[in-house]
Amino acid sequence: MNGATTDPPSQCHDCPRRCGADRRAGRSGFCRLGDETPIAWAGLHFGEEPPISGTNGSGTIFFAGCNLRCVYCQNHAISTPLSFRPFREVTPEELASEMLRLQDEGAHNINFVSPSHVVFRMARAVETARRRGLTIPVVYNSNGYDSPETLRTIRGLVDIYLPDIKYMDDSIALRFSRAVGYTDMIGAVLAEMLDQVGHLETDERGIAVRGLLVRHLVLPGQVENSRKCLRVVAALSPRTSVSILSQYSPRHRACSFPPLDRPITDREYDAVLEEALDLGLENAFVQELDSRENYLPDFTRENPFDAGAAAARRSFPPRSPTGRGSS
């Protein structure tokens, strides 16, 4: 690790938006967060990819807020400050205690969801938790809109990177997520992550211990974007583990935002899987299309993943992207 305990500069350049907001003084940028670290939910999650959830569950900590504004956000109840449900603000010490509690409950890992806008607070808490006895892997589960420079600063603290690659088309990155420069930086972000942790490694039980697993959500009407995204992953290395998600279902503003106002079709998903196969991406995780509702959290419930958690486990044919198994 390389200085995560040092306070970041007061002008926030933590993510590619580089707002320059003085967050330590309580001012906020695009993510609308000042100096706070809000947690929306923390608990055992059984619906991630099998090497992440395993049998005991992934110790998942959802941060509130986000540095993107996806019109289809499935976590919009917690990602958009204007609609935040009540969340808990924590100090690094309290966040470390939360990690240790999840470890005591048997979690295979600590899975930080949407950490990009609170990355230094997360880093400080991980250092504290390690000093206090945290031994399980730390997962950085982000939307991919990260800064390579910031990631270099937390080198050594993250064991498993679980980023999205959402777009390789700037016009839809802007239109769907208000993301400027996403396609320019995602390759460098993935390369930095791979350099830090290498390819995905699992233990004898098939539980991830280290490495990179890239996620891609197939969007309706955007097969060409998906193909381009997979090409970036394959260019990194065909050995890169990739999770190709079919779970898209219109949510939030997408319900009235064509072409995002419908689920994807079998034909679209199969076309993307074919591309993965053609590219030699053999370490691929796929999903059943008919189980898409099982993957969607409901943050109005005490446990957003109560319903269908077991059914939400993904098919896992690592050597055959087109061979969707049954879960």
Contact positions vs ligand SF4 (CB under 6 A): 12-15, 17-19, 21, 29-31, 67, 117
Query: What tokens were used for 28?
Result: 């906020």
For the CB of residue 67, give the shortest distance to ligand SF4 in the complex, in Å.
Answer: 4
**Burial status of residue 7 (CB atoms within 10 A of its CB: 0-12, 13-18, 19 or more):** exposed
**Minimum gap (Å) between residue 51 Cβ and ligand SF4:** 29
> Which residue, 193 or 273, is less far from ligand SF4 as judged by CB?
193
Which residue number, 18 or 155, has a Cβ lying nearer to ligand SF4?
A: 18
**Least distance in Å: CB of 171 to ligand SF4?**
21
- State the residue for tokens 């470390």: 96
Smallest gap, in angstroms, from Cβ of residue 47 to ligand SF4? 27
Considering the complex, state which of residue 29 and residue 92 has its C-beta at the smaller distance from ligand SF4: 29
What lies within 8 Å, CB to CB, of 184 at 6+ separation is none
Sign of the torsion angle spanned by Cα atoms 298, 220, 194, 280: positive
Q: In terms of CB distance, is 82 or 204 closer to ligand SF4?
A: 82
Q: Nearest-CA neighbor of 140 among 52, 18, 217? A: 52
Q: How far is the CB of 37 from ligand SF4 (least distance, A)?
A: 12
Nearer to ligand SF4, 67 or 141 (CB): 67
- Residue closest to ligand SF4 when measured from CB atoms: 29
Are 190 and 213 a contacting pair, CB within 8 Å?
Answer: no
**Residue with the two structure tokens 């791979």:** 194
- Report the C-alpha gap between 240 and 232 in whole angstroms: 10
Q: Which is nearer to ligand SF4, 21 or 190 (CB)?
A: 21
Q: How far is the CB of 124 from ligand SF4 (least distance, A)?
A: 15
Sign of CA dihedral 22, 23, 26, 31: positive
Contact status, residue 84 vs residue 133, Cβ threshold 8 Å: no
